Amino acid sequence: MQMPMQISLDEIISMLLARVDNLAFNDENIKTKFNILARVLYKKGLITDDDIIDSIREEHRVLKELGAIQEMPADDVIRTIAEGILQWVKGDVKAIRKAMEEYEKKVQEMSKQQASKPRIDVASPAVLQQLDKLSGKSAKGGGKLIL
C-alpha cells in the first residue's frame, strides 16, 4: 500500500504563486497579440471605429441574452468603452497616458475617502482576556468596548 504524499503549506503556496504568475504572463501575452493584430487590421481599413462600437453592442447583447448582465449599457458607456479600445488600437500614447493618470487620481481619491471613514476593530477573545487580567477584573461576562 502506498503512503499518502505529504506536501507542505509552503510548497502549495509556491505552486499556486507559480501558476498565478504563469496566468498573468499568458494574459499579457494574449493582450499584446490582440493589440498587434487589431492595429494591423485597423491600419489596413478592415476595422473601423463603427465596427468596434457595433461589436461592443453585439457583445453586450449576447451577455444579456445569456443572463450575464441585466441590461444593455447606455450609448455613452458603449462609446467610452470603444474609445478605450481605439486608443490602444490606434496607439494613441498621449490619450492612454491621460486616461491612466485620471484613473490613478480616482483611485487615490477613493483610498483617501476609505482612510477617512471610521473603522470598527474587533479584538480577539485572547486579547480581551489579557486586558481583563491586566485590569484585575473577572474574565467571565466582562465584555469591553475599546475606543
Per-residue pLDDT of 2-34, as tens digits, reads 767 788 888 999 999 999 999 999 999 999 999
Please, how many CA atoms are within 13 Å of residue 75, restricted to the half-sphere of its CB? 1
* Rounded-to-integer distance, Cα 44 and Cα 143, Å: 72
pLDDT of residue 126: 82
Q: What is the pLDDT of residue 127?
A: 81
Q: What are phi and psi of 74, to 5 degrees?
A: -70, 160
**82, pLDDT greater than 90:** yes
pLDDT at 147: 54
Q: What is the mean pLDDT of the chain?
A: 88
Is the pLDDT higher at 118 or at 37?
A: 37
**Nearest-5° angle of CA 18, CA 19, CA 22?**
85
Q: How far apart are CA 51 and CA 53, in angstroms?
A: 6
Pick left, alpha or beta for residue 115 (phi over 0 → left; psi -120 to 50 → alpha; otherwise beta). alpha
Instruction: Give the three-state DSSP class for 12.
Output: helix
Question: Residue 35 pLDDT > 60, yes or no?
Answer: yes
HSE, side-chain direction, 13 A CA sphere, residue 83: 10
Confidence of residue 144 (pLDDT cuts 50, 70, 90): low
Q: Is the pLDDT of residue 79 over 90?
A: yes
* Lowest model confidence (mean pLDDT) among 46-50, 55-59, 64-68, 142-146: 142-146
Average pLDDT over residues 83-109: 93
**Other beta carbons less than 10 A from residue 22's beta carbon:** 10
Question: Residue 87's closest CA among 56, 60, 52, 61?
Answer: 52
User: Is 143 a residue whose pLDDT tops 70?
Assistant: no
* This prediction's pTM: 0.60
